[in-house]
Structure 1
């Protein structure tokens, strides 16, 4: 048998490698390519140069991928040299670059190059037109992209119009988003002038019109004859032109500020490079709205380059809304020249408040705050003067709330006057104090509701060490922490705000408070909403407890019960600050109505607290009659109250055991609560708000009631309302024999 060669069959695996996919990064379009193929494209922005990229194969998984583009041969925007000689050439190159979509970094580089170009070049009309086109192209970028370069771009445009040389009496340069108008001025015969920006039929660029006043312009500036009256003779010699700028795109300007939103085109005017301010006759600026807003409150503002650490911001100083304003355009009267725009209230559909209502609301607020301050002080002094009234926790909490309200109203009343003074630090301090006392007022109203919950709901086994001290730490400390954080992060969050610009040409009022809308909505609106929700919950729980117990343990008629419960509701409403919620409903068509309700009830909160929690409380009345009245109005020495004061000698063995029962919501409700809780609560010592004494001695409980006309005994007692030994047996309290109202 012969031998032979034997071959073994073999298998071969073939893997298909995909092409590199098409990619379109900024400025380049790399086509789909086979592996190992190198693609070459013209550079951006210099198309005479080239960049390359190769489709590579990964040795790990045999997949294809693009290498990084080789741009070493490309000239970057940074490397473009700018000089007076090549300024026109560079401007054309930058115009081509900006005609494409740019990254944030590229936008910043372009604006920097334009600024260099304008500063070194001799600006003729042709170069100026190219620069205006570049800026207009840049304005198509997003607001976030332009945020860091907007100030530089605006100052570049201002420098451009100051340096531009031209022939004739005037010149206008227009582009899609920016229009420039320059007019020569004869200082010896100046009689006022005007500029108008309008959109011509079948045109995509706004046009500039000199001298004539148009009926429906996009923007119009009327300069009064007295415009140059404040310019010195030496300055007159160098004054040769008046400049006008119109921005149909507002991306270079901050859109929102202090609860207002930009809703107009922006127009600017300047006289040479001089500062024109404090004019005797105002400059009249008419600007069309970007959208028709019949119910929003317009505010005339100018772009202040000194605000926000040089970044610029809207400022209303020296400008007011004229009565001729309509829903689709606003007329501003300003005593200086700069960039102007119209900001609208963005609180939803906040109704336009006319000057008459502004004056009425201001009058109500200041009168109400003055009355509130007086009666908050009266409440505080009453509880300080009479030691018997401030022995329990509710009285001490009420004293803290009254103190906070007193200082809040005093700072508010002084705010408007102090805001008119020059020192910025003074307005800063006033705004900080106003913010602080506003937060302390909210906090103490919240603590009132927490205390009522502890006293009325969590009755048994409730004892908290250093109860009032802990409340004070929260009531005064928490607001201090919040205000301290705001000051530490950005003290410029506080400053001067203006209000009351009602469109009648009246000067707006200045007010020192929070300028930063984020801080305002977070620390004021948000903080109040949390307290308000807490108080609503506690209000419902407390009223259920009061109504349930009064109904079960009272012989009063239905009408009496309803009146008592209604009184409790009203007193609790003001004590817990429920009326502050009117501000949350001041929107749209009901804005004015709720603004009136808010102004009336909250400015008088101190008065209502004094009425319900001081003047109508019988133990307070007795203290007033005892120490403040004379003759037949003074209580006799053998009166029930006098007996209470002289016979009240038994004390609880521990000073820490104080009643948690609440007396803060009116005497009618507090009388039942204090007596019942003192009987049921093992920690009850004394309830000074009812004039009743409850004593605990070892294992034997004595219930002594000295409240004439306040309680009706179920068990028979003598006329002197003494202690009834039959109410107790074997040293234990018979809860079924508790005195009721």
Structure 2
């Protein structure tokens, strides 16, 4: 059928009449409707034909009658529907992009040139996913223009062109040939595409709305407003309809089709993210709103496991602190005091984690929660280093000093070092980068519902990227390596050099301290080794497995410390086991007495009733 296109081109070249064009478009309209799968060559020739007609119309060589305009819109719709093969992704990208742009330009030009009945002053057409409305104005007024297409979807799009745009295009020193031809008659043309098929891009664009008033209009003092009343277009985080196990994180961008770039651009446009969202642009062209939606599924099983693990750790840490505080002989020892500091800081970190790690709806509160978890996790690791250092000084160096002065120095290290790291991290990320990283897609004065933070993650109140790498994992890695070196040194001294100790009790204490330190470092160290391993791959299955292992180990750290310290030692175990056993025993005794009394009362009542019955019978 390609010969028919060539024949129509020849007819168009030779004929300068509107009737010849009408005959050609009628034949092509029938062909496009009957073709189920247009080839690339067929689409190219059809687009060339439409483009040539629009050029002749602009040069006033032919008139664009209603019949021609209707046929052209139906041909365009047919190309969209039946050109799926020609427009398939990855096929003839350059040719596709050129054809689509030529078709959009041609349809817009034809809409502006279509003949309009003076009595009606309006021309409207709907063909499939394309709607066009052209309106003619007489006089010297500069009205505010509005257009809202009729759609079958539960959406509503509306474009508002301010008076500044019409004034600038129609009367502000404009001397173009078109304005000279029609000094008192002006037009506005609005085009609506319910999808982005004719705009070649990999971006997820919604419906496209175009406005044309005759001349390019740039740098408007009042912006053109495009309203999108669509329940799907909610900027921010929200659960999808009927879903409780997912969270949608939706970002919106106001864009226009830049024919120079052959792609969507946001220059001169911004988003007012209120409900409904609005795009404000300082020029007129083809507008769309780009939707970037990330579907974040909630791993309910992992969340439950984490909650249970954190609860067990909180209970274990609280019991460990209580046991060491009650036991007089243990609480006076320096290793026990350091151990209590470890437990207290880790306990606070767990409590803050359970209460606030998912409070991402409030950005400021989420950042504060991240700071607290960051700080107390670092202080825990610093006290772990102090515990190892104290063991080294006691076993290897046989160091003796004032307890008060020593604990003050190590406490200053354990609390001030994390404070410096956190303050530097927050100051650089939140105080500098986040303040200077303004979302250019949003209009001035609009609060970003999804602020970009370089300090914390979007889906949880915890560190991300460089804040995580340099503000936490690097210090923890250094402390972990230092602990391993200390353990190796102490182990060599204990096993190889046979240190001379004053008593066998001291030797047992040193070995016990060493084993506890190694075990605690192993529990926390292995946990964060899996945290490091999560950085080495982006494979979904790999990350899910590592996340499960990391979450289980991380949430059970506190309970593991309780088992090591308060279960392993008989003295400490008796602190909580004896009262618990005594309470259980007393409860059992009380219950037995209560049951016995109940049985005796029941027997006595039964005998009384029998005696009463016998007396009454007599």
TM-score normalised to structure 2 length = 0.45
Say which structure, 1 or 2, has more relative contact order (CA 8 Å, 6+ apart). 2
* Structure having the larger proportion of residues in helix: 2
